[in-house]
Amino acid sequence: MRVPSHIQHPVAIRSDAEPGSPGTMRTAFHLSALRRTVTFAALAWCAGFAGVCAADTQVGGALPAPPDQLYGDLFVAVQTAQIFPDQKTFVDATPNTTPTAIVAAYEAAKNKPGFSLLAFVNQYFTPPPDQSVTPPPNQTLREHIDWLWPALTRTTTSAPDYSSLIPMPKPYVVPGGRFREGYYWDTYFTMLGLQESGNEDLVDDMLDNFAYMIDTYGHIPNGNRTYYLSRSQPPFFSFMVELAAQKEGNSVYQKYLPELRKEYAYWMQGASTTSPGNASGNVVVMPNRAPLNRYWDALDTPRDESYLEDVQTAQQAQQTLGRAPSDVYRDLRATAESGWDFSSRWFGDNATLATVRTTSIVPVDLNSLMYHLETTIAHGCSITHDFLCVIEFTGNAIRRADAINLYLWNAKGYYSDYDWQLAKSRDNQTPAMLYPLFVGAAWPQRAQQTAQVVQSVLLQPGGLATSIYNTTQQWDAPNGWAPLHWIALTGLTSYGNTALATQIGTRFLTDVQGLYASQQKLVEKYVVEGAGTGGGGGGEYPLQDGFGWTNGVTLKLLDAYSPGS
């Protein structure tokens, strides 16, 4: 399995300080990625002057209004009455006339005898189309995935007036099922499979779409819907650029370098003005002045696509814990930005959604991805011979790697999230602990310790469990997810744990193959506690078929462990 050149084994540099104390090791990424254009003296200079090197650019402008703002009381009435079983259906519907006219008609009719809200919605809105597909019979798993790519590809260069859909300039792949739009972090794992299938043009199209979103809105939103614009998702754009560059050369880094830097500016807003021990937006400045990141959403209201669920969660939190609804809404939205919505990973008691505290947590996955973004920008700047930029972003990366190994290392022997408000590590063991290995920021000894925890705690007959808790949330046991398996086996392989990586990859592939053999479909998530147990469950909606990231990772696993099948 090929590991990207600039995230191969990191170099551990020991000082004369006591082993294990803060600062005794510094993880430096593979120097060839920087073309050896800077010295460690220059890097240390930049790392020591965070105010000089930190990005703090204001980005983005006015955003299109989402459905809750367009329809006001009508929106609340429809979602509260559960006109549609899935709250996402209404916000994906297309209005048949202007929102102003619809709201006026609703206000005029709602108090009249015999008024039917269902009939009103059916008159003024067109529901989103069904996305179910019927594949040909007797396809092999590989044939089925190749057949699915066109079925999941959308071209929406325009959208109906006042639709929540945001047009994209080029084609893109949707996950499938209820997910009728492109999603940020899903797309990287989908791209893996597209590239494996020879669809490099579609990889480039989706990269161009994301560059367009950054240039237009200042960031890549959760998905191309107006109700997703207040947040992003795990920042995999740098990995997408790297993936394309592996096939197309260094010109890809140069092409997307402006957008890489703009995305970094988005995530780092407030870094230079936030005092140690405090947070602003997506930034948390640690006690040692290192800026790290958290998940965050610009809004503190119920999510459009899960309005009633969020209201009910906030009511429970207020009644049982005395929490302000706005705080709960912000944490629910921040969890949606994480992609892990929902998981015990974010819960104060590891069990109850009402205790969600995502904005209080510095996540190990997000900061690992930000490290990769920093190293990718440094690499891109070396190609353009912008050496001041190389110094700046190399320093940022080294500073972040130090902070990851200081704050995001659990003394029990694995990388973990950190609760910055409680000033302590989170003990919930999840595959997120493998992200520092995935990006090359882990110290080698700690990588081995983390691998041992993964093998002893998370490894199941069907792959990796998503957590150690079964809470009925979808990002918990007994479920396993394709993207986490790819991150795990890639990270483990890069640190020499090939046997464990192979166990993880082959077990999950067997799980996917078993479900396909019995039901002729791929799904969003799988039960891994027992090989071939079936599709996963839990969460806010039923199990979805499709499925973009499962398709992509499965193709990579087939080629790695079952070539020719």
Asked if residue 506 is part of any domain, the answer here is: yes
End-to-end CA distance of the chain: 18
**Residue 296 annotated as part of some ligand binding site:** no
Mean pLDDT of 371-394: 98
pLDDT at 530: 78
In contact, 266 and 232? CB cutoff 8 Å: yes
**Residue 259 annotated as part of some ligand binding site:** no
Q: What is each CA distance from 17 to 20, 21, 23, 364, in whole angstroms?
A: 9, 7, 8, 25
pLDDT at 18: 30
Mean pLDDT of 298-320: 98
Q: What are phi and psi of 96, to 5 degrees?
A: -90, -5
pLDDT at 311: 98
Mean pLDDT of 186-191: 98
**Mean of per-residue pLDDT scores for the chain:** 90
With b meaning 16 or more CB within 10 Å and e meaning fewer, what string describes 24-48?
A: bbbbbbbeebbeebbeeebbeebbe
Chain mean position to CA 404: 19
pLDDT above 80 for 209: yes
**Residue 185 annotated as part of some ligand binding site:** yes
Q: How far apart are CA 181 and CA 167, in angstroms?
A: 10
Between 385 and 35, the higher pLDDT residue: 385
**Predicted confidence (pLDDT) per residue in 491-542, tens digit:** 999 999 999 999 999 999 999 999 999 999 999 999 999 766 789 999 999 9
37-51, 166-180, 208-222, 385-399: range with lowest mean pLDDT: 37-51
Mean pLDDT of 17-21: 31
Asked if residue 520 is part of any domain, the answer here is: yes
In contact, 279 and 359? CB cutoff 8 Å: yes
In 3D space, the residue among 33, 25, 44 whose CA is nearest the CA of residue 401 turns out to be 25
Which segments within 120-203 are labelled E, that is strand?
125-126, 153-154, 172-173
CB-facing half-sphere around the CA of 6: CA atoms within 13 A: 26
pLDDT above 80 for 422: yes
Asked if residue 281 is part of any domain, the answer here is: no
**Residue 178 annotated as part of some ligand binding site:** yes
Q: How far apart are CA 470 and CA 480, in angstroms?
A: 12
pLDDT at 531: 62
pLDDT at 145: 98
Could you say which of 331, 337, 524, 545 is catalytic? Answer: 524
pLDDT above 60 for 131: yes
pLDDT above 80 for 254: yes
Could you say which of 242, 300, 341, 402 is catalytic? Answer: 341
Domain with 515, as residue range(s), is 429-565
**Residue 392 annotated as part of some ligand binding site:** no
Helix (H, G, I), strand (E, B) or coil at 22: coil
pLDDT at 565: 78
In 3D space, the residue among 519, 521, 391, 361 whose CA is nearest the CA of residue 44 turns out to be 391
How many domains does the chain divide into?
1
Mean pLDDT of 360-371: 99
pLDDT at 8: 37
Q: What is each CA distance from 152 to 194, 203, 401, 484, 549, in whole angstroms?
A: 12, 14, 38, 22, 12
Asked if residue 397 is part of any domain, the answer here is: no
Mean pLDDT of 21-47: 34
pLDDT at 533: 73
pLDDT at 44: 36
Mean pLDDT of 441-456: 98
**Residue 186 annotated as part of some ligand binding site:** yes
**Residue 443 annotated as part of some ligand binding site:** no
What confidence category does residue 563 fall into, taking pLDDT thresholds of 50, 70 and 90? Answer: confident
Q: What is the pTM of this model?
A: 0.91
Non-local CB neighbours of 388 within 8 Å, separated by 6+ positions = none
- Cα three-residue angle 431-432-437, rounded to 5 degrees: 95
Tokens of 225: 């819907």
Give the bridge partners for 280, in sequence order.
283
In contact, 27 and 401? CB cutoff 8 Å: yes
Q: How far apart are CA 413 and CA 367, in angstroms?
A: 19
Q: SS in 3 state form for 65-106?
A: CCHHHHHCHHHHHHHHCCCCCCHHHHHHCEECCCHHHHHHHH
Q: What share of the chain has pLDDT > 90, as a percent?
A: 87
Asked if residue 261 is part of any domain, the answer here is: no
**Predicted confidence (pLDDT) per residue in 449-503, tens digit:** 999 999 999 999 999 999 999 999 999 999 999 999 999 999 999 999 999 999 9
Residue 341 falls in the annotated catalytic set: yes
Residue 524 falls in the annotated catalytic set: yes
Cβ of 318: how many Cβ atoms within 10 Å? 15
pLDDT at 64: 82
Q: What share of the chain has pLDDT > 70, as a percent?
A: 88
Between 530 and 132, the higher pLDDT residue: 132
CB-facing half-sphere around the CA of 93: CA atoms within 13 A: 27
pLDDT at 62: 55
In contact, 563 and 332? CB cutoff 8 Å: no
Q: How far apart are CA 119 and CA 218, in angstroms?
A: 39
Asked if residue 479 is part of any domain, the answer here is: yes
pLDDT above 90 for 368: yes
pLDDT above 70 for 170: yes
**Predicted confidence (pLDDT) per residue in 78-98, tens digit:** 999 999 999 999 999 999 999
**Residue 267 annotated as part of some ligand binding site:** no
pLDDT above 90 for 34: no
Q: How far apart are CA 547 and CA 539, in angstroms?
A: 17
Asked if residue 545 is part of any domain, the answer here is: yes
Q: Which amino acid is at 525?
A: K
Mean pLDDT of 25-34: 35
Asked if residue 496 is part of any domain, the answer here is: yes
What confidence category does residue 25 fall into, taking pLDDT thresholds of 50, 70 and 90? Answer: very low
**Bridging pattern class, strands 361-362 and 278-280:** unpaired
What confidence category does residue 208 fall into, taking pLDDT thresholds of 50, 70 and 90? Answer: very high
pLDDT at 333: 98
